[in-house]
A and B are shown apart, each in its own frame.
Chain A
Amino acid sequence: MHPSTEPRTSSRRARIYLPVAIVLIATVKGLLWTQLLPPWYGPDEQAHFAYVQELALTGRVPASATHLTDMPPDMDCSTQALGFRSSGPFYARPPFVPGVDPCPKPPLNQGRLPQRLLTPAGTYNPIYYGLAVPFWLAAEATPVEVRLESVRLLSVLLGSAATLFCYLAALWAFGHDRRLAATTALMFTLQPMLSQQTAVVTNDALVLAISGAFAWLWMRTVIRPTGIAWMAVLGGLVGLALLAKHHGALLALLIPLGLLLQVLASPRARTVVRAAAGLLVAASVAAAIAVAGVGIDLLLHGSPLAATPPLAAAHHGWHDYLHVMEADSYRRLYLLLLQGFWGSFAWSSIAFPAVVYMAIAGVYTLAIVGLVVGLGSNKLRREPIVAAVTATALIVVGIFAMDAVEFKLTGGLVIQGRTFLIALTPLAIVLTGGLASLVPSRLGGAAAAAVCVAVLALQLFSWMLIADAIYA
């Protein structure tokens, strides 16, 4: 089944049931992950939750620091009971035994506020944390673990929204082929690392939902040139993504790319003028939202931007960045693009066996071969696939550029594999399209089903690994 040659799926089942079923999968699977990962086992979950709690109780945002300091007593006790140690992330197996409490829990409704909370999450605008406050308030009179689980539900909802947006983006990319769109969305939602990040308290979940909405509308503009209003919406989404988390700003790179593809497809003066106007509008709206965000920071924080943690002595050049990568035999690329991106759970202490990552690397290779075959033989529509490939590459390169800048400023390597998840929608389109192009048209359905089964296998395997590591 190939998007350019096959008739569109018109069955009612595919039109109605597929998106509904996929969103249901995202939601149910999200609930499952909130159950599977014990409280605080999302990366930096304490820092994010402490922010929400402070905002809910005082209306203030916490100050920023490189480490979480002065954690509220109820959180402190809970994290210790669940296996966390003074140095932060755990690595022991099993990390805790339910019912073994090393410290007396403060009475309910007490011990919720620190003297002065300092958290790495303090560098973020309160957009995500403000959305989380109603979830915190809904469980206000309950133990801290219950409040955390309540706030986690926001991430589950955002993950479900992101999955729907991915489906819609893939519909445009594959010429409304619902089977390939469903395969893409299934790959998206069952991707193990995304499953974790949309089930724990983290602003990653908001960035993923926003980047999903952006990918949908952006793919639409690539296929069907749109008016100024659409560009304003895209610009708005870039602004919101930036406020949610800094690397969300990288979505801005895709707006000129989409407009360039429009111009290349129809190189006329009118198209060029419209693209230039669209770019101007998108940039203006994005900038306006960013400025509004700074205004909110001013009101809540007392400074124009959330304070950046103190920087180390800046004696690290671009050359040193490459040297550090080289000295480690470029192992960091493996850790970021395969291990950290596809599955390194619970504070990066649970991972798949290496052979799984190698298999994924093999799938990348197969998909690239499939893209070449598909584009060469016109099995794939050129514009959306080229757009998806370029978008993925731009975001990946952009994140590494941010990493290099951070290294130059602080000497630290801070990005994680999960940072690249904002590229997951275009990547899933690329992988699905590439793999579907590898087989003859009559076997396209089987190929799509095989991809669904493979991502299901990855999802099930991640459940097994987490259960074994945490609950043994």
Chain B
Amino acid sequence: MMRFVTVTAIIALVVALASVAFRHPEPQLLGFNEFSYTDSGQSSLLPGTSVTQRVNVQAPNLSRIAFLYSYQGLGGDLAHVTVRSSGALLADTDVVLPATLRPKEPIAWWEANFWDSHARFREVPVKGDPGPQIEVTISLPTSSQPLTLWWTDLTKVDPAFAPGAGSQEDPNKYLAIRTEYGPVQPALLKAPTFLDRLAQTGLPWLPAPAIAVLAMLTLSLTVWVTWLVASSASRENGQRG
């Protein structure tokens, strides 16, 4: 009985984690060095105004862009986003903005992670073949609440890591816009990318599959110890019974 429960629990655990990894959507590739989180700032986009940012395209198959915002209205308001490249319109759409938390709200206790509560990325699908640069414009309708947009402070960031030229409205601010490439797929299917990059940065004396071998060894040994723990108890209980 005890062994059955143990095996069932371990299988349930693996299935649950695989399910989390399968449900979590992830683009094939994310843009690199597009935002300095440590030299960042935020400012309000007022109703009836807009802001435009040029963004470098880093890889083929641009599928989405995402902008980082905080919004403390009731939620559900709209922003209008257009994405252009060499005159072609790649996206022209209204996006809904779910509300984010104020740092001092009691619920922040429960959502204390860096991004979860105070800011979030809003993705916008892009269609068409972009050139080396795209132009992203975010505008707010006059009926909307002010929207907080995040940006990299180009006066503070190390010039070697500046993501690009500033926005049209303020050359010192580079809007936090992330580019995403390839189809959006379950994170589990991106495992080969993770493993490939891991192999390039990890212990040089271990061959590329080492990470998988170490993971399987850890998992197997832990399952075995759990088995010993459970089956020993079962046998002792049997002896006493």
Contacts and interface: CB of A to CB of B under 8 A. Distances in A.
Contact of B229 (A86, A87, A445): A445
B127 interface: no
Contact of A11 (B104, B200, B232): B232
A211 B38 CA distance: 35
A31 B201 contact: no
Contacts of B112: 331, 334-335, 339, 351, 354, 357
A444 B5 CA distance: 13
B44 interface: no
A2 B195 CA distance: 43
Interface in B189-241: 190, 193-194, 197-198, 200-206, 210-211, 214-215, 217-219, 221-226, 228-237, 239-240
B38 to A, nearest CB: 4
Given A28-B218, A149-B204, A445 B224 contact: no
Contacts of A456: 10, 13, 219, 222-223, 226
B116 A91 contact: no
A445 B2 contact: yes
A335 to B, nearest CB: 6
A35 B205 CA distance: 11
Contacts of B237: 1, 441-442, 445
Contacts of B116: 353-354
Contact of A445 (B194, B200, B234): B234
Nearest to A189: B222
A102 interface: yes
A459 B13 CA distance: 12
B17 A36 contact: no
Interface stretch (B71-79, B130-138, B154-162): B154-162
From B10, B20, B30, B222, residue with most partner A Cβ within 10 Å:
B222
Contacts of A331: 108-109, 112
Interface in A1-51: 1, 6-7, 9, 11, 13-14, 17-18, 21-22, 24-25, 28-29, 31-32, 34-36, 38-39
Contacts of B197: 97-98, 470-471
Contact of B221 (A24, A329, A351): A24
B38 A448 contact: no
Contact of B38 (A85, A441, A452, A467): A85
B170 interface: no
A247 to B, nearest CB: 24
Given A1-B236, A28-B214, A92-B35, A35 B202 contact: yes
A196 to B, nearest CB: 15
B32 A32 contact: no
Interface residues of B, number: 74
A102 B162 CA distance: 12
Contacts of A100: 32
B113 interface: yes
A57 interface: no
Nearest to B27: A472
B96 interface: no
B218 A186 contact: no
B106 interface: yes
B17 A179 contact: no
B16 to A, nearest CB: 8
Contacts of A13: 228, 232
B236 A446 contact: no
A428 interface: no
Interface string B38-74: 1100000000000000000000000000000000000
Given A85-B157, A445-B229, A471 B110 contact: no
A6 to B, nearest CB: 6
B153 to A, nearest CB: 11
B214 A32 contact: yes
Interface in A193-223: none
A301 B181 CA distance: 53
Interface residues of A, number: 85
Contact of B37 (A91, A183, A453): A91
Contact of A92 (B33, B203, B215): B33
B92 to A, nearest CB: 27
Contacts of A22: 225
A471 B190 CA distance: 10
A25 B222 CA distance: 7
Interface string A450-469: 10110011011101100110
B24 to A, nearest CB: 8
A238 to B, nearest CB: 32
A358 B110 contact: yes
A32 B211 contact: yes
A87 B106 contact: no
B17 A457 contact: yes
B9 A453 contact: yes
Contacts of B85: none
A6 B236 contact: yes
Contacts of A142: 204
A448 B229 contact: yes
B214 A446 contact: no
B98 to A, nearest CB: 16
A256 interface: no
Contacts of B16: 457
Contacts of A468: 24, 26, 187, 194
Contacts of B161: 85-86, 102
B104 A329 contact: yes
B203 A31 contact: yes
Q: Nearest 7 A-B pairs (CB), nearest first?
A: A445-B233, A91-B37, A35-B202, A98-B200, A449-B230, A32-B214, A452-B226
25 contacts: A9-B236, A21-B224, A25-B221, A28-B217, A39-B201, A99-B200, A145-B201, A149-B203, A179-B233, A183-B229, A329-B104, A329-B109, A349-B37, A351-B113, A353-B113, A353-B116, A357-B112, A449-B6, A453-B13, A456-B226, A459-B218, A461-B17, A461-B20, A468-B194, A472-B194
Given A96-B32, A460-B17, 19 more contacts: A1-B233, A1-B236, A11-B232, A29-B218, A35-B203, A35-B211, A86-B158, A92-B34, A97-B197, A178-B232, A352-B113, A445-B232, A452-B222, A452-B226, A453-B10, A456-B226, A464-B21, A468-B26, A468-B194
Interface of B: 2, 5-6, 9-10, 13, 16-17, 20-21, 24, 26, 30, 32-39, 104, 106, 108-114, 116, 156-158, 160-161, 187, 190, 193-194, 197-198, 200-206, 210-211, 214-215, 217-219, 221-226, 228-237, 239-240
